[in-house]
Amino acid sequence: MSHREAPEQILAFDVGGSFVKAGLVDVESALVVGEVLRRPTPPGAAPEDVLDLLADMAQDLPSDGPVGLAFPAVAKGGVAWTAANVDKRWIGTNAQTQLEARIHRPVAFLNDADAAGVAEMVRGAGRGRSGTVMMLTLGTGIGSAVFIDGHLLPNTELGHLQVQGIEAEHRASAKVRADRNLDWQAWADAVNLVLAEYHALFWPDLFIIGGGVTENWRLFGPLLQSRAEILPARFGNDAGIIGAAMAAAVISR
């Protein structure tokens, strides 16, 4: 199918440790059409419960054609190989074929931070940028996507990197800020430690910061510091949905 014949609106999901989001995306304009559905992730995030929720949400957003699924795990060949903030039974599960069996449509399955990074590099804060760009999503954990001259190095999972003896996402995720009731300065200090460690190892030219917390960018953005440029994600918390839809559009061509 040619690019012009691709479905105008593509259904995409972004599964997180706390919430599952779904929306219809006009890939040409990189805009979510209508409302974004947001449902709590089922307690424990077991595969069958999450897949059932995705199938139910698909019925609430009628559409045709391929579907994008952004998921918080290493994603290879449709299979989840890690499960940091979801049930460990996801490890080895072919999420792609299982969702396809429920909704009877082709599914593009990719890491959630990679999906957000794709959206930002194609149409967002990283558009047209060369060099090394690191997309970081600050949510229940910390997701990462690394691009070299626009090319994605998939499944980097840098949120699990040790920073002064503590995993980065256990030090500076948005969940940590909420759980510890940190003020913006204290949390920004923790994020800056993580950025410094990433910079020392990868020397990126640009950090793009995403996740729902970017709604408060004016409160913490000016507090972030790095030798690299720092920008908020253009698409904010919708970046994962938009990137997943872009991945789904590819399989329709």
Mean pLDDT of the chain: 94
Kindly give the confidence (pLDDT) of every residue in the chain, 253 residues in length, as a single tens digit, with 9 standing for 90 and above. 444 444 479 999 999 988 999 999 999 999 999 999 999 999 999 999 999 999 999 999 989 999 999 999 999 999 999 998 899 999 999 999 999 999 999 999 999 999 999 999 999 999 999 999 999 999 989 999 999 999 999 999 999 999 999 999 999 999 999 999 999 999 999 999 999 999 999 999 999 999 989 999 999 999 999 999 999 999 999 999 999 999 999 876 6
pTM over 0.75: yes
**Domain 128-233, what architecture?**
2-Layer Sandwich (3.30)
pLDDT of the residue at 84: 82
List pLDDT tens digits, range 87-136: 999 999 999 999 999 999 999 999 999 999 999 999 999 999 999 999 99
Domain assignments of the chain as residue spans, ordered by start: 3-114+239-251, 128-233
- Are 3-114+239-251 and 128-233 in the same CATH fold? yes
Phi and psi torsions of 229, nearest 5° = -70, 145
CATH number of 3-114+239-251: 3.30.420.40
User: Number of helices (H) and strands (E), helices first, in the chain?
Assistant: 8, 14
Q: How far is CA 154 from the centre of its chain?
A: 12
Interior/surface letters 14-52, b for 16+ CB within 10 angstroms, e for the rest: bbbbebbbbbbbebeebebeeebbbeebbeebebeebbe
